[in-house]
Chains A and B, each alone.
Chain A
């Protein structure tokens, strides 16, 4: 049963919260998702927001369901408009079936809403009656929970816990606000036919609720990350914040660098001295890092960089999403050297591939990139807890002897990696072309030997490529190829289309490209790459590295993620 059908049966509800930055949309999202999850509902949330601290309009989409939900949908079953202009902000997503919850007193003329076309719920009035209009967000939390028919104690218990560290009065007022909102919702007259009675799933309570930034951060910790150096840049900052806060107990040295150039040069230096370092950034910051990436290539020092993409060029749309930096990450850094690019599509993959990134970087002494985007890092859903039993780090480091040579020529190009202070040898690394001892050279024969040595590692890397995941019929006629964050929207879109002749092929490692790619493409009658950029960067990569042409591209570059409906409509046309 698709989500649309479940929606019609009241089992898949989409709630959109819209309001000004700094006015609590995030708080409502935070509380609601947790209350829902703890009550046993499957939940998904993602946001779109403006690049400003106060004002503007932001929205959060929360899906609640009896089945797993992990993708953005445009459909709005309930719109909670917290500020003037909120309805207009999401007007394109409105349908006659959307139930709008708003406060008559705060809606402006520009929303074009006549009384009677929305449910008037006086959030601020109720809050003021309790003692302060600051509680209006909690009134909204209670009201939405009430509409969905969630148990009142599930709401009040969590609100009480959430504010537990505040004064007794604040706790009591917030609980009152939640209860008052809940009760006010019970008195609303819902349009005919709308009744939500979502079933819970007992498994959910014991699952985790994380977003993409947290999944990347946890994966890094599982990979033994003990050093992070970064310059804050939306939308990648969440990973830095996570590692700075949560990593404290796990021994992570987190440093805010003066710029991205310092960040990458710190990360490379840290690996050289035996740490397992990561930098996290976005496209513009990565552009600054590229000389340092090339340094890692030359020194054969491992390094891991997480890049959360946002639309460019230049500053672009700082808080929006895009998959437009694949080619930057593929080519960033002068000269020839091997690299690995991972692009998780699910939270499980984000945890697993980020952990793996550290092992691959260490093992192949090469830069490894984890490529996500704003939509991915800012989206939450519940899933079974990550497995820590695999978090055993094999350190590919040797104790050096007196005759140690950092760049000793070996068959596979991999020289045993020593670190300073561990053993009797000296570890010399040089950004100039160097000999086996790491000393500068202009011997051109040595130059050729060293280039060949570095590139030989690329061949070794190809033996360990994460294979793409084929979902759907193995004898597909149509093949929909995607990578990174579009995993769930494509999967759900295909489920809605309900075609038994079409499969999805998702890549969580986009470079080097898996060797079977050409076979997958050739087997299909029609192939499409779905990606969020204007020029079809992955489609071009497939042409270049698999030597096959993909027939069509479904692209989007307006700064918003694909929603399931975009996939249904776009693929529906292409595959008709």
Chain B
């Protein structure tokens, strides 16, 4: 599919050959093209890491902020101008480790943004340490005896927090991933898409082949409105389910904050209401 409007042309990309980030980038551009999103209305927000470089390689506005802090910034960007499409995208270490607290509270806050997480179960940019989603026993130069911390389960956490939209995809399957991304971006409210992705350099365990053999797609029998079923599927470990686990339509953060109730203009178009300010100051005179 032609994705010209998002293509950067001939640029130097800092990812390893064969990296799972390449198909995610390609798939995302296709999803955005399918949804007819205008690059001048799209803000990509990311943190730090190899996955977090994705905004550099996709033509749009972008805010490449601090490690772990993409979600608060993305929330504020969307809240300051709800007409923008906002995607917060980074890796598992960034979103679930450094930014774990923001991940939890962003789900509670429910801004109308899409949260794409490249989940390769390892730290790439810092060269091969365990990530929050690394499997038990995974050996690294730091976790020399193997990982002993329980792997973080982002889907189960998100469903426990009654997230608005929770999905998992596989970077190796572009067709299905594109459809999941399209549903997530079109969803009104916070949408999590955890994308399983191999790290060809530092994760010799969870390879393209491993993912192929250890995943399966949720079928029509799964009801995304059923929170209990979604949670049960999210905690399956033998083979990892893919697809849309949970959809819970509810009012977004921007709809709840009040400043757009009577005035739909983004904040940058507004002026100080001098008369209202004067009246507020006068109230401190306390005269009847």
List residues of chain A with CB under 8 Å of any chain B CB: 34, 37-38, 161, 205-210, 214, 218, 221-222, 224, 226-227, 229, 246, 248-253, 255, 257-259, 261-263, 265-270, 272-277, 291-292, 295, 299, 385-386, 388-389, 391-393, 395, 397, 419-432, 438-440
Within the complex, which residue of B56, B59, B268, B281 is in contact with A386, where a contact is CB–CB below 8 Å? B281
| Contact across chains for B56 and A224 when beta carbons are under 8 A apart | no
Roughly how many angstroms separate A110 CA and B134 CA in the complex, as a whole number? 62
B281 and A388 contacting across the interface, CB-CB below 8 Å: yes
- Residue numbers in B under 8 Å from A272 (CB-CB): 63, 73, 77
Ordered nearest first, which 4 A-B pairs have the shortest CB separation? Answer: A274-B268, A269-B73, A269-B76, A208-B284
> Which B residues lie within 8 Å of A222 (CB)?
272, 277
By a CB distance below 8 angstroms, the chain A residues around B282 are 208, 385
Q: Is B277 a contact of A250 with CB atoms below 8 Å?
A: yes
A388 in contact with B65 given A205-B287, A227-B80 (CB within 8 Å)? no
* Contact present for B66 and A265 (CB under 8 Å): yes
**Roughly how many angstroms separate A253 CA and B261 CA in the complex, as a whole number?**
12
Q: Is the interface of A mostly helix, strand, loop or mixed?
A: mixed
Q: Which residues of B contact A221 (CB under 8 A)?
A: 272, 277, 280
Query: What are 5 A-to-B residue pairs whose CB atoms are below 8 Å?
Result: A277-B76, A388-B281, A391-B277, A421-B266, A440-B56
CB <8 Å contact, A269 and B266: no
Asked whether, in the complex, the Cβ of B281 is within 8 Å of the Cβ of A266, the reply is no
Asked, given contacts A218-B281, A274-B266, whether A227 binds B76 with beta carbons under 8 Å apart, the answer is yes
Contact at A246–B280, with CB atoms within 8 Å?
yes
How many contacts between A and B, using CB within 8 angstroms? 208
Q: Is the CB of A439 within 8 A of B56?
A: yes
Q: Could you tell me the distance between the alpha carbons of A292 and B284 in the complex, rounded to whole angstroms? A: 35
Q: Does the CB pair A266–B272 fall under 8 Å?
A: no
Q: Say yes or no: B272 contacts A253, CB within 8 Å.
A: no
Q: Mark B55-81, 1 if CB is under 8 A from A, else 0.
A: 110011111111001011111111111
Nearest-neighbor residue (CB-CB) of A226 within chain B: B267
Residues of A within 8 A of B105 (CB): 257-258, 262
The answer to whether A420 and B272 have CB atoms under 8 Å apart is no
For A386, give the chain B residue with the smallest CB separation: B281
**Given A209-B286, A292-B69: A258 touches B102 (CB 8 Å cut-off):** yes
A310 and B287 CA atoms in complex are apart in Å by 34
In the complex where A208-B284, A249-B276, A292-B66 touch, is A261 in contact with B72 (Cβ < 8 A)?
A: yes
* B48 interface residue (CB < 8 Å to A): yes
Across the interface, which residues of A come within 8 angstroms of B64, CB to CB? 428-432, 440
Given contacts A421-B40, A421-B81, A438-B62, contact A224 B272 (CB under 8 A): yes
B23 close to A (CB within 8 Å): no
Taken together as a complex, chains A and B put the C-alpha atoms of A38 and B262 apart, in Å, by: 36
The residues of A that contact B60 with a CB separation of less than 8 Å are 426
Assess the B284–A269 pair: CB atoms within 8 A: no
Apart from A258-B102, A385-B282, list 9 A-B contacts with CB within 8 A.
A250-B277, A250-B280, A266-B76, A268-B73, A270-B79, A273-B84, A420-B77, A421-B40, A421-B84
B280 lies within 8 A of A249 (CB): yes
Q: How many Å lie between the Cα of A229 and that of B80 in the bound state?
A: 12
A554 to B167, CA, bound (A): 62
B146 at the interface (CB under 8 A from A): no
Is the beta-carbon distance between A295 and B266 smaller than 8 angstroms? no
CA distance A34 to B284 in the complex (A): 10
Give the one of A214, A250, A265, A439 with max B CB within 10 A. Answer: A265
Is A295 touching B66 in the complex (CB atoms < 8 A)?
A: yes
CB distance from A243 to the nearest CB of B (A): 11
The complex places the Cα of A248 from the Cα of B104 at a distance, in Å, of: 27
Q: Which residue of B lies closest to A246 (CB)?
A: B280
Instruction: Decide: A265 and B69 in contact? CB cutoff 8 A.
Output: yes
A430 / chain B contacts, CB cutoff of 8 Å: 56, 62, 64
Which of A208, A275, A422 is B76 in contact with, Cβ under 8 Å? Answer: A275
User: A207 and B277: CB pair below 8 A?
Assistant: no
Cβ contacts under 8 Å, B77 to chain A: 269-270, 272-273, 420
Expressed in whole angstroms, the minimum distance between the Cβ of A225 and any Cβ of chain B is: 9
What distance in Å separates the Cβ of B286 from its nearest Cβ neighbour in chain A? 6
Residues of chain A within 8 A of B56, CB atoms compared: 430, 439-440
A273 pairs with B284, CB closer than 8 A: no
Residues of A near B209 (CB, < 8 A) are: none
User: Does B281 lie within 8 Å of A385, measured CB to CB?
Assistant: yes
Does B53 have its Cβ within 8 Å of any Cβ on chain A? yes
- From A209, A269, A299, name the one whose CB has the most chain B CB atoms within 10 angstroms: A269
**From residue B148, how far is it (CB to closest CB) to chain A in Å?**
27
A248 to B65, CA, bound (A): 29
Beyond A258-B105, A262-B105, A429-B62, is A210–B284 a contact (Cβ under 8 Å)? yes
Interface residues in B164-223 by Cβ distance below 8 A to A read none
| Selected contact of B104 from candidates A258, A388, A440, CB within 8 Å | A258
From B61, B69, B277, B280, A427 is in contact (CB under 8 Å) with B61
> Is B73 touching A275 in the complex (CB atoms < 8 A)?
no
Q: Which B-chain residue is minimally distant from A272 (CB atoms)?
A: B63
Q: Which residues of B contact A431 (CB under 8 A)?
A: 48, 64-66
A274 to B267, CA, bound (A): 7
C-alpha spacing A258/B62, complex, angstroms: 24
Would you give the shortest CB distance from B107 to chain A, in whole angstroms? 11
How many angstroms between the C-alpha atoms of A266 and B257 in the bound complex? Answer: 14
Q: Which of B45, B53, B61, B62: most chain A Cβ within 10 A?
A: B61
Chain B proximity of A165: nearest CB distance (Å): 14
Do the beta carbons of A268 and B65 come within 8 Å of each other? yes
Q: A257 to chain B: which residues have CB within 8 Å?
A: 72, 105
By a CB distance below 8 angstroms, the chain A residues around B74 are 269
Quick one: which of A208, A259, A262, A388 contacts B277, CB cutoff 8 A? Answer: A388
Query: In the assembled complex, which residues on chain A have CB atoms less than 8 Å from the CB atom of B274?
Result: 388-389, 391-392
Given known contacts A266-B72, A395-B268, A253 and B285 CB-to-CB distance under 8 angstroms: no
Q: Kindly list chain B residues whose C-beta atoms are within 8 Å of the C-beta of A266.
A: 72-73, 75-76
A575–B157 Cα gap in the complex (Å)? 66
Q: Does B236 contact A (CB under 8 A)?
A: no
**Per-position 1/0 for B247-286, Cβ under 8 A of A:** 0000000000111000100111011111011101110111
A269 to B62, CA, bound (A): 11
Tell me the smallest distance from the CB of A360 to a CB of chain B, in Å: 16
Partner of B287, one of A38, A270, A292: A38
Q: Does the CB pair B267–A426 fall under 8 Å?
A: no
Determine whether the beta carbon of B39 is less than 8 Å from that of A426: yes
The closest CB in chain A to the CB of B57 belongs to A439
Given A258-B105, A266-B73, A429-B63, also A226-B81 (CB < 8 A):
no
B100-136 interface mask toward A, CB cutoff 8 Å, 1 = contact, 0 = none? 0110110000000000000000000000000000000
A273, B81: Cβ atoms closer than 8 Å:
yes
Given the known interface contacts A258-B104, A265-B73, A393-B271, the answer about A270 and B80 at a Cβ–Cβ threshold of 8 Å is: yes
Which of A208, A268, A427 is close to B285, meaning CB atoms less than 8 Å apart? A208
Q: With A253-B79, A272-B63, A420-B77 in contact, do A265 and B72 touch (Cβ < 8 Å)?
A: yes
A253 to B278 alpha-carbon distance, docked (Å): 20
The docked-state distance in angstroms from the alpha carbon of A291 to that of B68 is: 12
Residues of B within 8 A of A273 (CB): 43, 76-78, 80-81, 84, 266-268
Complex formed: what's the CA distance from A224 to B268 in Å?
10
Q: Is the CB of B272 within 8 A of A391?
A: yes
Please give the distance in Å from A16's CB to the nearest CB on chain B: 23
Residues of A within 8 A of B287 (CB): 38, 205-206
Q: Which of B81, B258, B271, B273 contacts A420 (CB 8 A)?
A: B81
